[in-house]
Amino acid sequence: MFPAIQFGRLFGIPLQARVSFLAMLGAVLLLMGGLSGIFVVLLAFGSVILHEFGHALTARRLGVNVSAIELHFFGGVAKLTSLPKSANDEVLIAAAGPVVSFALAGIGYLLYAATGLGGFALLSAVNLVMALFNLLPTLPMDGGRIFRALLSKRMSFERATEISVKLSRVVSIAFGVFGLAFMQIQLLLLAFVLWSMASAERVLAKRNPYGQPARDCHPGGPVERHAAAVSPDRIVILRYNQRRN
């Protein structure tokens, strides 16, 4: 795999892109062409980055270090080098991205109502879809992480993960059924990724991450917590690299 390419820095956080992300943008530009293609590319690019900054800046405010924001074919991830201190912190970090997307959707709608320009309507629609899909209560989406964090207040983190994984599998099957019924390859891919990533959470939930000191993390490198979640054009993985019991 090619290393991520750093293309800038904002709020002290490096911005990186994988070759797969650049290839996706190039494909969109090639298929759409002209100014409209450039506009769609920039709109999607900016929306994903701002969503990730919602996660990253909230995490940093709560004392969780952020090493970079990385963009790839399925979307973006905020790389966190330490773990949330509590379930409440996890809820705030997970919810921050969708809040940003909802705000952008509202701004886009108001600008469209005031100007009638279709570009603002597209901005509103893209961010509304992104926010709603991210809030589905299934891992590794933001909604799934919020759901699990709330459950963990009443039971062990491992048990909360088990329940969340079962719910995620139901959603995955639903996506798969609709994908087959309507011959939508994107939905089939989404179903496969959701099932796989939700199943992986069982292994990663051997230790409750909230408040866990850095020395308990895997010694091979920093903890990369992939913030955000999944949408039709955007799949982002939540992962904790931790030492197993």
Catalytic residue set: 52
Q: Annotate 168-210 with three-state secondary structure.
A: HHHHHHHHHHHHHHCCCHHHHHHHHHHHHHHHHHHHHCCCCCC
Instruction: Write the DSSP symbol of residue 64.
Output: -
CB 122 within 8 A of CB 47: no
Residues 108 and 106: their CA atoms lie apart, in Å, by: 5
99 phi/psi in degrees, rounded to 5: -60, -45
- 71 touches 18 (CB < 8 A): yes
How far apart (Å, rounded) are the C-alpha atoms in residues 191 and 188?
Answer: 5
- Give the alpha-carbon dihedral of 216, 219, 221, 227, to 10 degrees: -20
- Asked whether the beta carbons of 223 and 216 are under 8 A apart, the reply is no
